[in-house]
Every structure is written in C-alpha cells, then in structure tokens.
Amino acid sequence: MSAELKNDRFLRALLRQPVDTTPVWMMRQAGRYLPEYRATRAKAGSFMALCTNPELACEVTIQPLARYDLDAAILFSDILTIPDAMGLGLSFAQGEGPQFARPITCKADVDKIGVPDPETELKYVMDAVRSIRRELNGRVPLIGFSGSPWTLATYMVEGGSSKTFSKIKAMMYNEPATLHALLDKLAQSVTSYLNAQIAAGAQAVQIFDTWGGALSTPAFREFSLRYMQQISAGLTKEAEGRRVPLIVFTKGGGQWIEEIAVGADCVGLDWTVELGDIRARLGDTVALQGNMDPGLLYAQPEIIDAEVARILASFGQHTANSGHVFNLGHGIHPEINPEHVKAYVDAVHKHGYQYHA
Amino acid sequence: MSAELKNDRFLRALLRQPVDTTPVWMMRQAGRYLPEYRATRAKAGSFMALCTNPELACEVTIQPLARYDLDAAILFSDILTIPDAMGLGLSFAQGEGPQFARPITCKADVDKIGVPDPETELKYVMDAVRSIRRELNGRVPLIGFSGSPWTLATYMVEGGSSKTFSKIKAMMYNEPATLHALLDKLAQSVTSYLNAQIAAGAQAVQIFDTWGGALSTPAFREFSLRYMQQISAGLTKEAEGRRVPLIVFTKGGGQWIEEIAVGADCVGLDWTVELGDIRARLGDTVALQGNMDPGLLYAQPEIIDAEVARILASFGQHTANSGHVFNLGHGIHPEINPEHVKAYVDAVHKHGYQYHA
C-alpha cells in the first residue's frame, strides 16, 4: 500500500501544485461501455454481486487503465451501498434502476436506521480498496467516493429513481425535521465511510451530489450543501504523509459554485457551464474538475480532440495556484465506442502541456 | 375576438408596465391534476384526440380559470404538433411518452420534410385558439406557444424522449450541417406556426426550450439560441393594437440568461436560480417569469404561501421598468392536490400588492 506513487499528476492538480500536463480520468470509467467489464459483470451474475465481490470489483476498477493512459483509478462501487447497509433492501431489477424494498416514509423509519460500521457492514468495499491499491502498486492514485446525503436520501425516500422527487419534496417541505434527521444520519455515515476508505488506501475522495441540482437555492443550501460541509469538516485530511483532497460535484450546481467551493479542494463541473467563466468567478482558490459533455464521445475522434482542446483553452494558462483535472461533466454512457475514449484521454495530455509552462 | 380585455395584468407585466399586483399562471395549468381535465380526456379517448379536437381543447383550456384566479389562459396543445404535421407519425403509448414512427436519421430525411402550413395542416390548433378567444370573451389574455427548434429536434431525431440524447448529439457533433438544416426548417415552421396563432388570437407567445439545458455553452448558442433568435426576428410584433410579447424559457438556462434575454420581452426561469440574482444581472431590461419549484405544490397550503412570499421578496420592489409574472419553474406534476394550486394562486396576488407601490 505504501509503494511510491509513479504518477501523481492527479493529486498535484487537485492541490493546485505544478504538473507537466493536465491529468484526466472519467466518471464511470469502469463501466458497461467496455466489453471486458461486461464479461466480468456476467461472471458475477448481477450488478450487486459485482459490487460486493472485492476481487471482481478490483478487476473492473483496473480494466480501463490497461486500455487508456488515465491519471487516476476510481473504486468500482455504487453510491447506494450505504442505504443498503442500513437495511433498506437494495435490488437492481433488469433495466429498472435501483429499488429499495423498505423505503423511508416517516420519522419512525429514520429512527430505526443506524450509522453502518464501514469495516464490518461495508467490509466488502474496504476490501476492494485494499485489493485495488495492491494491484495498482503505485501506478496512479485511487479515488474513493460516496453519494451526498441529499442524493442518497432521494433514493431512500422515493424507493428508487425519480423524475419529480415527489415524496422527498413533500417530506422536505412538510416535515423538514424528519428529513434533517435522515440527512444527519447520512452525513455521519458518509463521513465514517469515506474515512474508512481513506484508511484502507483511497488517496482522494469525491462526493457525488447527483441530484443537488433539483433543488431551489435555499433548499440546496439547507438540505444538500450543509451536509456536504458537515462531511468535509469530519474527513481525514492526511494519509501516508499526503493531503487527501476532497472533490465535491453537484450536477447542475454551477450557480452555487462559490458556496460549493468552501471546504473542498476541488469542485466538479458539468458541461453546461464554461470552465473559463467558473475559473474567473473562483479565482484559482480551488481546483476545477470537468467538464466535457459525455455526449461528445458519440462524435468521431477528431471532433473529440477539437473539443478537448477547446475546453483546455477555456480554462487557459496555469498559474502557481491553479489546478484542473480533466473529466466528463457526468458519467460515460454505456453505448460509447471504447476507441473514442482513447481519443479523449490522449487529447487531454497532448493539448494540455502547452498550458503548464 | 376583439372584446376588451378585462384583466391585462399579465400583458402589462410582460411589457414592464405598472400593475396593481403580480400576475400569475402555471405551466400545464390545463392538465392531469384536475379531475375535470381527466374527464374530458377520457371523453376524447386519447391525448392526441384531445389535442386535435378544438372544442375539447377549448374546454380544458378554460377549466382552470373556473377554479382559480389566474391572470392568463394558455392554449391546450402539445409541442409535438409541428413534427406530427411534418409527417413523422406521432403517437403516445400508455405511460411511454411520445413516439415517432419515422424519426429523422439523415440529411435525406430532413430534405423530405416540409414547413407545415398552419391554417391547413395545423388548422385544429388555430380553430382551438379562435374558440378559446370566443369563450374567454376578454376575461384574461390567451398565450400561444411552441417548442424551440432544438427541443423539437431532440424528439424527432431520438424518436421520442431521451435521457442521454445519444442520437441527436452524435448528429450534432458528426453531421452539424444535417442538424442545422433540420433546425432551420423547424425555425421557419415555428415562426409561421406562432404567427398563425397570433393571427387567430394569441395575445402573447412562449417558446419552450425544455432541453436547451442539456447542451454545453457553445452548443447552446449554435444549436438552440440562434434558432430562437431567428424566430424572434420573424414574429408578428403587434396585433389588435397591442404588442404581442414573446416569452423565452430555457429550462436549466440560468447561466445564459443575458443572451437568452436578447430579442425576448420576458425570460422564463426554472427554480434552481434566485430571482433576485437574475434581476440584478439583467437590470430590469426584460421581464422575468417564474420560478417556484413545482415540487412545492406537494407542501401544505401555509408552506406554499410562505414560499410564494419568499420568491416575491427575492424579486423585490418594482420600479417603472420592471416586470414579473409569477409561474412555476416547470409544468405542474399530475399528482398535485387542486386545493394546493388555489393556495399558490391566491398567495401571489395577496403578497404581490406590496411590491407595486
């Protein structure tokens, strides 16, 4: 686990230290677009069987690194491991998305759930982190992650995915104390879960606030941001003699970026904002991660190359205090041609050098 | 049709003229949350049968005015009437959303479609507008509408609804000339469609750019905004001795609001932005419409009342050049309790007076 890191571009960029070129990874880089992932997934039998098997989770985490010159690996897992460990009964019906057998409907339901102990109730995740670190052997850093309390709560209250968030919004407006009790338990759980991932070997962590953008500004502050900041305050700041950077990614959160940046080393951005505009607003006080439209990967390689160049130019020349990690603005879609991903990764490194003088 | 308008608050606010209190309407106010709508819909047999029957379309348009003190009526129709008239074969499968039998896949498909003549190929819409104007008899103004070219194109290329917009994004990036040809035909069609609605009696028009927010900033400018501005330039500016105001609503478009405002009398806003922030950015050069979270209508009436008050306060005191039309940030959800809508409408008028001195 303490093998020297051969490529630390990603960690350096998150901490706004000089790098030779812009580092790159991709949300959901271990995923269905890769035939080798689909083969391992088939061997596991189900998505949850893959998540809960540390050896197979390690295998799929490493797969994209064999194909692409990526600057980071990300733990293969699902954001819903925490509510599953809380006893809500998670399943993934074929083509249906996640479903909970026992969703949260009232204060009594919230009172019944506990804060899972990561090293026992989520041991399979920590085992996967340890396996991946061994397997990586210092090649690139490993990212741990969790869903944000608000994002986890949407699934737990709705019982699965939702377009309208009708149940959780009714709870939020009519019974805010119930939702706050749930979010507080989730914030405690996420903090201990991420700290356990760091203890097991995660070298950076990302909070995925996938559904924060479904909220109004005051509701975002009260029900999402506040709990992410509670987590940020409770996270282990250093491990193996290095700072463990925190990336916070609220999809659709461009309008709140100054507030999201508080307590984060890096903010993730979706593709609907201009990187240069956001950099101007934040003034190199935090690193930025993003933000190519995942839909660009449907385009031909030369078009991907040109768009990568445009986004790097939008960020612009680096200074002594700037940091940029290239990424998509959301997870890669399952139908993408793996050859197009190669064009994306290579374009970032090729065009990135000129901005790091 | 030329009956004097008894309540012109809505039109005056759109043109930033003084009003006694803030006007209010609601996207999808004629819709499934109303039992009387569901009864008429059942009588029609199908959603498209309701859309294409001017008498029944008129009936459902008027229904919410009988219950609520709304300041405008909006034509009951669907944004996909134009692609249907282009021959793409629209149907609505039960619980499946819209589907096109003959989606657009290539340049030859684009070349085959024409610009529909509104008074023949979309006569049922114009007949509905005329019936509604007769029925309203000057009670409140009637809003006409269309989807934006980009939004219509997403359905036409995907063949229906989409989460990832994989087909249209592949076309956008790989064959931009094909998509531009389609968008240009759509912009011509929308212009003539809205002008025909105005000629038939629509007193304001709104462009629904529901999916503009799925684009990056440069793609939004090139593939959505440009064609809305082409429409704006071609619209009839005056009818019945009054200006016909144009409302442009890009869901998820808060970051581009200065650009969207060009050529519009009013910009619609979703609930993820703060009205006061947007007003400060635009400086009373355009009216604003919005922006309560439709999810608030799941809350109890007193909570709806408080949120309406908060949004009015966020906009703040009116000046000689300001205009605000209260609305939801998106269409009302079908499961909403109709009593909650009454709380919403009444709260706007009650709290609005104090901001119009």
> Model confidence over A148-191: pLDDT tens digits?
999 999 999 999 999 899 999 999 999 999 999 999 999 999 99
CA B54 to each of CA B39, B128, B144: distance values in angstroms, whole numbers, following the listed order: 16, 4, 14
pLDDT of residue A95: 73
The whole model's pTM is what? 0.96
Residue B254, Cα to own-chain centre: how many angstroms? Answer: 17
User: Contact, B88 vs B160, CB < 8 A?
Assistant: no
Residue B75, chain A, CB below 8 Å: the answer is no
Task: Indicate if the alpha-carbon torsion angle A61, A62, A65, A66 is positive or negative.
Answer: negative
Own/partner contacts of A163-172, CB < 8 Å, gap of 24 or more, are A164/B294, A164/B295, A164/B333, A165/A211, A165/A214, A165/B295, A166/B295, A166/B298, A166/B333, A166/B335, A167/A103, A167/A105, A169/B293, A169/B295, A169/B296, A169/B298, A169/B299, A170/B295, A170/B298, A170/B299, A172/A219, A172/A223, A172/B295
The residue among B96, B165, B173 with the most chain A CBs within 10 A of its CB, best to mutate, is: B173
pLDDT of residue A357: 82
Domain boundaries, chain B: 9-355
Interface touch B166/A252, C-beta < 8 Å: no
Q: How confident is the model at residue B2 (pLDDT cuts 50, 70, 90)?
A: low
Model confidence at A1: pLDDT above 60: no
pLDDT of residue B202: 98
Backbone dihedral angles phi then psi of residue A99, each to the nearest 5 degrees: -140, 140
Pick from B222, B195, B224, B219: which is nearest to B209 by CA? B224
Interface touch A164/B299, C-beta < 8 Å: no
Among the options B78, B84, B265, B305, which is catalytic? B78
A333 closest CB neighbour out of B166, B218, B310: B166
Report the alpha-carbon angle A141-A145-A150, nearest 5.
155
CA A286 to each of CA A8, A14, A16, B102, B164: distance values in angstroms, whole numbers, following the listed order: 18, 8, 7, 49, 30
Give chain B positions within 8 Å (CB) of A219.
293
A169 closest CB neighbour out of B173, B254, B298: B298
Give chain A positions within 8 Å (CB) of B254.
255
Model confidence at A22: pLDDT above 70: yes
| Chain A contacts in chain B segment 217-276 (CB below 8 A) | 217-220, 252, 254-255, 271-274
Among the options B33, B68, B155, B193, which is catalytic? B155
Pick from A173, A254, A182: which is nearest to A212 by CA? A254
Q: How confident is the model at residue A83 (pLDDT cuts 50, 70, 90)?
A: very high
Interface touch A252/B272, C-beta < 8 Å: yes
* Rg of chain A on CA atoms, in Å: 19
Mean pLDDT of B241-257: 97
Q: Cα(B7)–Cα(B31) distance, rounded to whole angstroms?
A: 23
Interface touch B298/A174, C-beta < 8 Å: yes
Q: How confident is the model at residue B192 (pLDDT cuts 50, 70, 90)?
A: very high
Q: In one letter, which amino acid is A273? A: V
Q: Cα(A77)–Cα(A3) distance, rounded to whole angstroms?
A: 24
Using DSSP, state whether A187 is helix, strand or coil.
helix
User: Contact, A89 vs A119, CB < 8 A?
Assistant: no
A299 closest CB neighbour out of B173, B254, B293: B173
Mean pLDDT of B160-170: 95
Model confidence at B355: pLDDT above 70: yes
Mean pLDDT of B302-309: 98
User: Contact, B283 vs B264, CB < 8 A?
Assistant: no
Q: For residue A156, what are its two tokens?
A: 């737990």
Residue A165, chain B, CB below 8 Å: the answer is yes
Mean pLDDT of A188-216: 98
Q: Cα(B239)–Cα(B166) distance, rounded to whole angstroms?
A: 41
Model confidence at A196: pLDDT above 60: yes
Q: Cα(A87)–Cα(B241) distance, rounded to whole angstroms?
A: 66
Q: How many other C-beta atoms are found inside a 10 Å radius of the C-beta of residue A103?
A: 18
Mean pLDDT of B178-203: 98
Q: Cα(B128)–Cα(B197) distance, rounded to whole angstroms?
A: 10
The CATH code of the domain at A9-292+319-334 is 3.20.20.210
Q: How confident is the model at residue A94 (pLDDT cuts 50, 70, 90)?
A: confident
Q: Among residues of chain A, what percentage have pLDDT more than 70?
A: 99
User: Contact, B292 vs B329, CB < 8 A?
Assistant: yes
The model's pLDDT over B109-143, given as tens digits with 9 standing for 90+, comes to 999 999 999 999 999 999 999 999 999 999 999 99
Q: Cα(B283)–Cα(B323) distance, rounded to whole angstroms?
A: 11
Residue B201, chain A, CB below 8 Å: the answer is no
Average model confidence (pLDDT) across chain B:
97
The model's pLDDT over A123-139, given as tens digits with 9 standing for 90+, comes to 999 999 999 999 999 99
Model confidence at A342: pLDDT above 90: yes
Q: Cα(B181)–Cα(B113) distance, rounded to whole angstroms?
A: 11
Report the alpha-carbon angle B261-B266-B270, nearest 5.
85
pLDDT of residue B184: 98
Pick from B15, B12, B150: which is nearest to B79 by CA? B150
Q: Cα(B350)–Cα(B348) distance, rounded to whole angstroms?
A: 6
Determine the residue of chain B that is closest to A171 in CA distance.
B299
For residue A76, the 8-state DSSP code is -
Interface touch B173/A218, C-beta < 8 Å: no
Give chain A positions within 8 Å (CB) of B269.
none
Q: How confident is the model at residue A3 (pLDDT cuts 50, 70, 90)?
A: low
Lowest mean pLDDT of A87-91, A110-114, B92-96, B138-142, name the range: B92-96
Q: How confident is the model at residue B3 (pLDDT cuts 50, 70, 90)?
A: low
Interface touch B255/A273, C-beta < 8 Å: yes
Give yes or no: B155 in active site. yes
Q: For residue B164, what are its two tokens?
A: 């990832």
User: Contact, B40 vs B50, CB < 8 A?
Assistant: yes
CA of B181, closest CA in chain A: separation in Å? Answer: 19
Model confidence at A100: pLDDT above 80: yes
Model confidence at A2: pLDDT above 80: no
CA of A328, closest CA in chain B: separation in Å? Answer: 12
Interface touch B296/A169, C-beta < 8 Å: yes
Interface touch B215/A298, C-beta < 8 Å: no
Model confidence at B95: pLDDT above 80: no
CA of A241, closest CA in chain B: separation in Å? Answer: 39
pLDDT of residue B76: 98
Q: Which residues contact B66 (CB under 8 A, 6 or more apart)?
A: none
User: Contact, A207 vs A82, CB < 8 A?
Assistant: no
The residue among A150, A173, A259 with the most chain B CBs within 10 A of its CB, best to mutate, is: A173
Q: Which residues of A are catalytic?
A: 28, 32, 41, 78, 155
Instruction: Supply the DSSP string of B229-241, one letter for each residue.
Output: HHHHHHS--EETT
pLDDT of residue B96: 78
Backbone dihedral angles phi then psi of residue B67, each to the nearest 5 degrees: -95, -35
**How much is the ipTM here?**
0.95
Lowest mean pLDDT of A129-138, B1-10, B218-227, name the range: B1-10
pLDDT of residue B1: 47
Q: Cα(A248)–Cα(A257) distance, rounded to whole angstroms?
A: 10
Q: Among residues of chain A, what percentage have pLDDT more than 90?
A: 97
User: Contact, A1 vs A127, CB < 8 A?
Assistant: no
Give the end-to-end CA distance of chain A in Å, rounded to a whole number: 33
pLDDT of residue A131: 98
- Note the helical H segments in chain A: 9-14, 35-44, 47-51, 54-67, 81-85, 107-112, 118-121, 123-136, 149-158, 166-174, 176-200, 217-219, 226-234, 257-260, 275-282, 301-315, 338-352
pLDDT of residue B4: 87
Which residues make beta-bridge pairs with B247?
B206, B266
Burial of A283 (0-12, 13-18, 19+ CB in 10 A): exposed
Fold adopted by B9-355: TIM Barrel (3.20.20)
Average model confidence (pLDDT) across chain A:
97
Query: Does the N-terminal peptide bond of residue B7 adopt cis geometry, omega within 30 degrees of 0?
Result: no
Q: Is B326 left (phi over 0), alpha (psi -120 to 50) or beta?
A: beta
Using DSSP, state whether B14 is helix, strand or coil.
helix
- Specify the residue for token string 């677009």: A33
Lowest mean pLDDT of A58-72, B84-98, B190-204, B278-292, name the range: B84-98
Residue B299, chain A, CB below 8 Å: the answer is yes
Q: In one letter, which amino acid is A313? A: A
CA B205 to each of CA B74, B262, B284: distance values in angstroms, whole numbers, following the listed order: 9, 16, 20
Q: How confident is the model at residue A96 (pLDDT cuts 50, 70, 90)?
A: confident
- Specify the residue for token string 């956001």: A278
Determine the residue of chain A that is closest to B333 in CA distance.
A164
Give chain A positions within 8 Å (CB) of B169.
293, 295-296, 298-299
Q: Cα(B143)–Cα(A345) distance, rounded to whole angstroms?
A: 49
Q: Cα(A99)–Cα(A83) distance, rounded to whole angstroms?
A: 11
